[in-house]
Amino acid sequence: MDTCQTIKLMPGEYWWGGVINDGALMPFGKSDYSRNLRHIDDNQATPLLLSNKGRFVWSDEPFAFSFHEDELLIQQANSPIITGQEHHTLAEVFNHVSRTYFPSSGKFPDPLAFISPQYNTWVEMFYEPTQDKIIQYAQSILDHGLPPGVLIIDDNWMIDYGNWKFNKERFPNPKEMVRILHQLGFKIMLWVCPYVSPDSAVFRMLQRKDYLLKSKDGTPALRQWWNGYSAMIDYSLEAAAEWFLEQLDDLVTSYAIDGFKFDAGEPVIPDADDFSKPVLWHNTLPLNDDCHAFAKLGTKYPLSEYRMSWKNGGQSLIQRQRDKAHTWERGGLADLIPNGIAQGLMGYAYNCPDMIGGGLDGDFNSSDFQFDSELFVRYAQCSALFPVMQFSLAPWRVLHDEQLNYCLDIVKLREQLGPEILQLAQQSATTGAPIMRHLDFVFPNEGYALVGDQFMLGDQILVAPVLLKGQTSRQIHFPTGTWIGDDGSVVQGPALEEIQAPLSRLPWYRKA
């Protein structure tokens, strides 16, 4: 089936949807844009478009779409295109599509993820985490006045990809390590991925069991990813998926691990260039549904984080934005708010803006890397009132004096508002509503569709971080109502006001 539809845009109509990493280009309709959802190798995605005029487009399988002048063109669809025009606002159409196509599971992640920051070992340790380093990192968090939270042990804690046992050379007593971390108040997640290192004992065992994705000639397919070439579990096989979960369950029961960071998971395109030969799933999967199946595995655990998802809206999964660069521009700080808004509108309510200051190892390991302390503080401020915030680079190591205090102050704000964020997470588990909301979602038809540098936390808190280097003030759109600022000021909306925002301040306002 190859269906094609052309939709005439209404005056003032703008659209969101598709791939989350394109959030900075949303809303669509203001300029030309095209995307084929057959290729979503960079972040969460959903075969959904929805507009501020209450219209939507949905298909169960990927489709291509483009905006040009006053038209939306849908094509290359392999399943029926469903459209709706019976709603009038962004919130109304979201409520309809979420109930219909990705209803909330009724569950939400562990409350600690919303009350306190997360801490990830990646930037501090990269591929060299050890038991001693992790305990020291956790103790340093507390010693510098930050609260305990979820601690993620990133890549290379294990023996090998697919061999999900602690490497005893780096972790001589992981059970004792987890006990100490729990005693300090942390909950522990471990990094995992869907790959299996070739020419290993686990690879040979899985090959005998017929659990690996195969080339069409019957040999295991090897996929190129950022850590080389690896085989891949065939998630179309229930037994293969169960084997993977058994490895994770063993970590839970043996070491009291609290959850997992499920990395990679990009969907396999059967004839893609990153395979030496075309591949074939054991049981036929629609395109991108292997990514969907991998993300479903995480719903078993109270703490699961994903960077890649396909049609997994409404689930109790923390959804992290694509790895961010240490930059003010696109790919860094500038992407956080529009991408976060897009995550919520696609059903990924429990969203995380990646690691504060950025998480690309190529940034921090390059010979010409220059750390920007102002950027780090503004990054922390922008992240603080997202549903989930995550540190990795230790602020006490890179910041000094006043700037470190600004960072500590923003964490105190997170602790202060954490219970409200948790309450919104609980509500989202029932209603599916985003926690982080576009202004047009809360205040429809007031002219805010193109405002992409501020957001609402629920319906009552307006957040407007500074996102430009050297800026100590910014314009803020205040919707209808009375707004009480973090500095005690009162603004009567609707209004557009220039607000002072020195480096010490994250401007946020509560609706009276």
pLDDT at 365 over 90: no
Instruction: Give the residue-averaged pLDDT of 356-365.
Output: 90
Q: Which residue has the higher pLDDT, 276 or 408?
A: 408
pLDDT digits (tens, 9 = 90+) for 421-460: 999 999 999 999 999 999 999 999 999 999 999 999 999 9
Per residue in 46-59, pLDDT tens? 999 999 999 999 99
Look at residue 49 in the predicted model and tell me its pLDDT.
98
In this structure, the number of other CB atoms found within 10 A of the CB of residue 466 comes to 24
C-beta atoms surrounding 33 within 10 Å: 18
When pLDDT is averaged across residues 285-294 and rounded to a whole number, the result is 95
CATH class of segment(s) 113-190+239-269+287-430: alpha beta
pLDDT on residue 458: 98
Task: Read off the tokens for 203.
Answer: 């690879």
**What is the average pLDDT across 58-68?**
97
pLDDT at 274 over 80: no
pTM, 2 dp? 0.97
pLDDT computed for residue 456 by the predictor: 98
* Domain residue limits, the chain: 5-101, 113-190+239-269+287-430, 437-511
Average pLDDT (379-393) is: 98
CA dihedral 409, 189, 185, 174 (to 10 degrees): -130
Chain-centre distance of CA 474, in angstroms?
27
SS3 assignment, position 481: strand
> Which of the following CATH numbers is that of domain 437-511: 2.60.40.1180, 3.30.230.10, 1.10.1060.10, 1.10.10.10?
2.60.40.1180
pLDDT at 4: 87
- pLDDT, position 26: 98
Confidence class of residue 42 from pLDDT cuts 50, 70 and 90?
confident
Residue 21 carries which DSSP code? G
The model's pLDDT over 297-316, given as tens digits with 9 standing for 90+, comes to 999 999 999 999 999 999 99
pLDDT at position 476 over 60: yes
- Average pLDDT over the chain, rounded to an integer: 96
pLDDT at 498: 98
Residue 276 has pLDDT above 70, yes or no: no
* Predicted pLDDT at 92: 98
In angstroms, rounded to a whole number, what is the distance separating the alpha carbons of residues 136 and 133? Answer: 5
pLDDT in tens, 75-108: 999 899 999 988 999 999 999 999 999 999 999 9
Taking only the tens place, the pLDDT of each residue in 17-29 is 999 999 999 999 9
Q: Residues 6 or more apart from 462 whose CB is under 8 A from it?
A: 439, 454, 455, 456, 476, 478, 479, 483, 508, 509, 510, 511
Q: Per-residue confidence at 273, pLDDT binned at 50, 70, 90?
A: low
Checking if the pLDDT of 3 tops 90, the result is no
Residue 41's alpha-carbon distances to 60, 264, 266, 287, 442, in angstroms, are: 18, 9, 5, 13, 31
**Which pLDDT belongs to residue 270?**
81
Q: Is residue 1's pLDDT more than 60?
A: no
> 437-511: same fold as 113-190+239-269+287-430?
no
- 362 or 198, higher pLDDT: 198
- Give the lowest-confidence range in 41-45, 115-119, 360-364, 492-496: 360-364
Q: How far apart are CA 222 and CA 212, in angstroms?
A: 10
Residue 366 pLDDT grade (very low, low, confident, very high; cuts 50, 70, 90):
confident
- Tokens (6 digits) for 254: 């043996």
Residue 2 has pLDDT above 80, yes or no: no
Asked which of 79-88, 157-166, 269-278 is least confident by mean pLDDT, the reply is 269-278
Distance CA 223, CA 500 (A): 51
